Amino acid sequence: MSTDSQKTPKTPMALEFKSSTFSVPVLVVASDDLAVIEQQLQEKTSLAPEFFKNSAVVLDLQEINKRDYDIDIVALTDTIRKAGLLPVGIRGGNAQQNKQALELLIPVYSMHSGSVSVENKKQKTIVVPVIETKADEDVGIETDATATTLITQPIRSGQRIYAAGDLVILSQVSAGAEIMAEGNIHVYNTLRGRALAGVRGNSEARIFCFDLQAELISIAGNYKISEDLDESVRNKPVQIYLQDQALIIKDIVLPH
Amino acid sequence: MARIIVVTSGKGGVGKTTTSAAIAMGLAKKGHKTAVIDFDVGLRNLDLIMGCERRVVYDFVNVINGEATLNQALIRDKNCNLLYILPASQTRDKDALSKEGVGRVLDELKKDFKYIVCDSPAGIEKGAHLAMYFADDAFVVTNPEVSSVRDSDRMLGILASKSYRAEQNQEPIKEYLLLTRYSPERVKLGEMLSVEDVQDILSLHLLGVIPESKSVLNASNSGTPVILDEKSDAGQAYGDIVARYLGENRPHRFIDDKKGFFRKFFGSK
């Protein structure tokens, strides 16, 4: 870390690995017909040409492989590039597809372990964060998917926390803060900010908090904003989970 | 060991400069050699509040640029010879400040002073960031209203993640809450957040409550830090704050609506 650079001032650091989180759209491909893909992509991008122009995208091949379609990654990549998008990764591919992707210098990302809820999403673009590199330790970014991230400091307005596994927070999460986890989120205090669990599509993920005053809650992309929260669930301990694509907020009754 | 205190808030107009002037004076009056630095380059005010605006020759930016020595730029306070003021430059902007330059000036001050009070500009940009970057303690000045509270919360997040201490994985900056312009009567009428409300949102150690007071404006206009007005409620409140910061145990005042003889004397406004 930067302490080293202080000890050896003669060799200033030319680079530094930092861990950072990005939101990248995932393109779930569910057809092997390149012409259809091209046409539908065109329709989608024409809706917001500025947004999609040169936008990075991760290709999700899980649907294709589930249906045993065979698709040529080179041709698919070409089609997507033609639509103005820049593929920066694939996931859910088989060995052959992964190999092809790497030959095109496109990184291969793994699907989140456990059940994944892309099934009902059909051909739809969802936004999920992708972790860029895994080198330096940064504030609250835990990159081991099996690990639980524990945070004891308050999460203040404007701060963002991303955990690859579960996220446990013992202090309050302020309004204007954003906490995200690929697994579950536990807040043993007041939750006033935004909480997004199962950000990589894990629909089994849950949010638990001692005092729900959140600005937004989301599980696997299904979200509710503060305005949609019923008064009956506010300001008390609750758990939030997904059932048939709907967010269920349920009281947690504490023993006396 | 010298300690660097940043007086910060995020939001403007909440009383950062008033507080900086008062606590710097309070610390010096308690016998600690103290320097107070105006980080609000381009919008210099501290010199007015301290009543030394006619004696400014060199400023903070001159020292950073090596155009003047620290001793040339430091202005000794007229009320207390242990207090020195380092004014901001009025003709420059925040870009004139650099991390290295600020660090160098603070290192030099640390050799000679017990407390260095950094009066932060509003906002979270460069000037505010550099004012808090090297701090050991932070006085977060907040008014009892929602936007000020949220901005303070944002600033606390920056203190926790973007300071030198955070970057070096050292013990974090000690954070203290100062609630200013507090009016128990208006809290009662529901026009203002109460101490409890603010504490609930920020969960921060409360160093003191400064009541809304005419004496603050009078002090500013006359260029004498309000803490020197020992008869005023705001002056006493700052006195308490300095004492508490130095480890004295003083009960909180000015939180409850004073009924009875106070009302009779001052009327209910």
Could you tell me which chain B residue has the CA closest to the CA of A139?
A: B161
Residue B57's pLDDT band (boundaries 50, 70, 90)?
Answer: very high
Residue from the list B157, B166, B168 with its beta carbon closest to the beta carbon of A157? B157
Strand arrangement, sheet containing A160-163: A141-142, A160-163, A178-181, A194-197, A216-219, A222-225
Q: How many residues does chain A have?
A: 256
What pLDDT is stored for residue A113 in this prediction? 38
Q: What is the pLDDT of residue B70?
A: 96
The per-residue pLDDT for B212 is: 95
Contact (Cβ atoms closer than 8 angstroms) between residue B126 and residue B164: no
Going B257 to B261 to B262 to B267, the CA torsion angle's sign is positive
Which residues have a Cβ under 8 Å from the Cβ of A246 and sit 6 or more positions away?
A222
Residues of B in Cβ contact (< 8 Å) with A155: 157
What pLDDT shows up at residue B258? 63
The DSSP letter of residue A235 is T
> For residue B27, what pLDDT is reported?
98
Q: Which helix (H) or strand (E) holds A47?
A: helix A34-47
Q: Answer whether B168 sits within 8 Å of A139, measured CB to CB.
A: no
Q: Which residues of B have a CB under 8 Å from any CB of A?
A: 150, 153-154, 156-158, 160-161, 166-169, 172, 200-201, 203
Q: Give the predicted TM-score (pTM) of the model.
A: 0.69
What residues of chain A lie within 8 A of the CB of B158, using their CB? 156, 158
For residue A19, the chain B residues in CB contact (below 8 A) are none
Chain A residues whose CB is inside 8 A of the B160 CB are 153-154, 156, 159
> To 10 degrees, what angle do helices B146-161 and B126-133 make?
60
* Whole-number average pLDDT of chain B: 93
Instruction: Report the run of H or E that residue A243 belongs to, with start and end.
Output: strand A238-243
Mean predicted confidence (pLDDT) in B191-199: 95
Fill in the DSSP letter of residue A226. Answer: G
As beta bridge partners, residue B50 has none
SS (H, E, C) chain B: CCEEEEEECCCCCCCHHHHHHHHHHHHHHCCCCEEEEECCCCCCCHHHHCCCHHHCCCCHHHHHCCCCCHHHHCEECCCCCCEEEECCCCCCCHHHCCHHHHHHHHHHHHHHCCEEEEECCCCCCHHHHHHHHCCCEEEEEECCCHHHHHHHHHHHHHHHHCCHHHHCCCCCCEEEEEEEEECHHHHHCCCCCCHHHHHHHHCCEEEEEEECCHHHHHHHHHCCCHHHCCCCHHHHHHHHHHHHHCCCCCCCCCCCCCCCHHHHHHCCC
Yes or no, beta carbons of B161 and A2 under 8 Å apart:
no
Q: How many CB pairs under 8 A join A and B?
A: 43
Closest residue on chain B to A171 (Cα): B203
**C-alpha span between A216 and A200 (Å, rounded):** 17
What distance in Å separates the CA atoms of residue B116 and residue B107, rounded to the nearest whole number? 10
Question: For the ranges A72-76, A197-201, B185-189, B209-213, which has the lowest average pLDDT?
Answer: A72-76
Contacts of A161 in chain B (CB under 8 A): none
CA-to-CA dists, residue A198 to A114, A164, A181, A218, A230, angstroms: 11, 9, 6, 8, 22
Give burial (CB, 10 Å; 0-12/13-18/19+) of B115. buried
Residue B161: closest CA among chain A residues belongs to which residue? A139
Cβ <8 Å between B156 and A156: yes
Question: Which residue of chain A comes nearest to B162, CA vs CA?
Answer: A139
How far is residue A238's CA from residue B2's CA, in Å, rounded to a whole number? 47
At residue B55, does pLDDT exceed 70? yes
Q: Which residues contact A217 (CB under 8 A, 6 or more apart)?
A: A194, A195, A196, A207, A223, A224, A229, A240, A247, A249
* pLDDT at res. A142: 43
Report which of residues A60 and B46 the model is more confident about. Answer: B46
Q: Do A1 and B169 touch (CB under 8 A)?
A: yes
- Rounded (to 5) percent helix, strand, coil in chain A: 20, 35, 45
Query: Among residues of chain B, what percentage have pLDDT more than 70?
Result: 96
Write down the residue that tokens 């859910």 correspond to: A92
Q: Which two tokens stand for residue A179?
A: 């906490």
Q: How many CB atoms lie within 10 A of CB B49?
A: 27
pLDDT tens, chain A, 256 aa long: 444 444 445 566 788 777 666 677 788 888 888 888 888 888 877 777 776 778 888 888 888 888 888 888 888 888 888 888 888 888 888 888 888 888 888 888 877 533 333 333 333 334 444 433 333 333 444 455 568 999 999 999 999 999 999 999 999 999 999 999 999 999 999 999 999 999 999 999 999 999 999 999 999 999 999 999 999 999 999 999 999 999 999 999 888 7
Question: CB within 8 A of A116, min separation 6: which ones?
Answer: A62, A200, A201, A202, A203
Distance from CA of B153 to the nearest CA of A (A): 6
Distance CA B216, CA B15 (A): 9
